[in-house]
Amino acid sequence: MSRSKSDEAQQAKPLSRIQETNRKAILEAALDVFAISGFRGATIDEIATKAGMSKPNLLYYFKSKRAIYQQVLEQTLSDWLAPFAELDPTGDPVEELRRYITAKLKMSEKNPNASKLFANEIIHGAPVIGDFLKTSLKTLVDEKAKVIRYWVGEGKLAPVDPYHLIFMIWATTQHYADFDVQIRAVVGSQAGRPGFADQAAQAVLTIILNGIRPRQ
């Protein structure tokens, strides 16, 4: 994902504590606005208002709506991929995947708008992060697929296709954020009760992990 020269120059300058705070406020506000309105529906004015600052002040930090949108997506992907990148080939496969799935579920619970924003970008053909998906993401997924294939070959996991396992983990963990309205429509007030997220996590972990444990 490329940035404009002006944006790169802005990022190269050290930011003061106030500037860091303002920039963080902009990105947090933008995440909420983009998650609800999408890239096309969101406006700079709306983001500035939600961030509690003027439009000219916002434009000091980011030169365009696209620059804000790209930065939010980059931050989302960075957060999401960190626990995936940490899958340890030397660790116990079931425990490594349990840790990763648990981390993804917690991310969906704590920051559902990030998942919705990413889903919306993908649905629209990934116009901003398409190159990233074909390069950096593919490289990481290929690397972890080799790890899973190694575990299968060593008899530490049931014979599963590593790519489809990864896709299943992504789809399942992000479902609770992307389809929250549907979940609440089906299970009603139960979805908002304390412990529901833990109950969902336990169900997801049981189903996936039992499916990949080595067969006796």
Q: How far is CA 170 from CA 173, 177, 178, in A?
A: 5, 11, 11
The CATH superfamily holding the domain 73-212 is: Tetracycline Repressor, domain 2 (1.10.357.10)
Question: By three-state DSSP, how is residue 41 classified?
Answer: helix
Span 79-110, pLDDT tens digits: 889 999 999 999 999 999 999 999 999 999 99
The CATH superfamily holding the domain 5-68 is: Homeodomain-like (1.10.10.60)
192, burial (CB in 10 Å: exposed 0-12, middle 13-18, buried 19+): exposed
Note whether 114 and 174 are within 8 A (CB): no
Span 33-86, pLDDT tens digits: 998 888 989 999 999 999 999 999 999 999 999 999 999 998 888 888 999 999
| Domain ranges for the chain | 5-68, 73-212
Note whether 53 and 61 are within 8 A (CB): no
Write down the pTM of the prediction.
0.82
User: What DSSP string describes 142-187?
Assistant: HHHHHHHHHHHHTTSS-S--HHHHHHHHHHHHHHHHHTHHHHHHHH
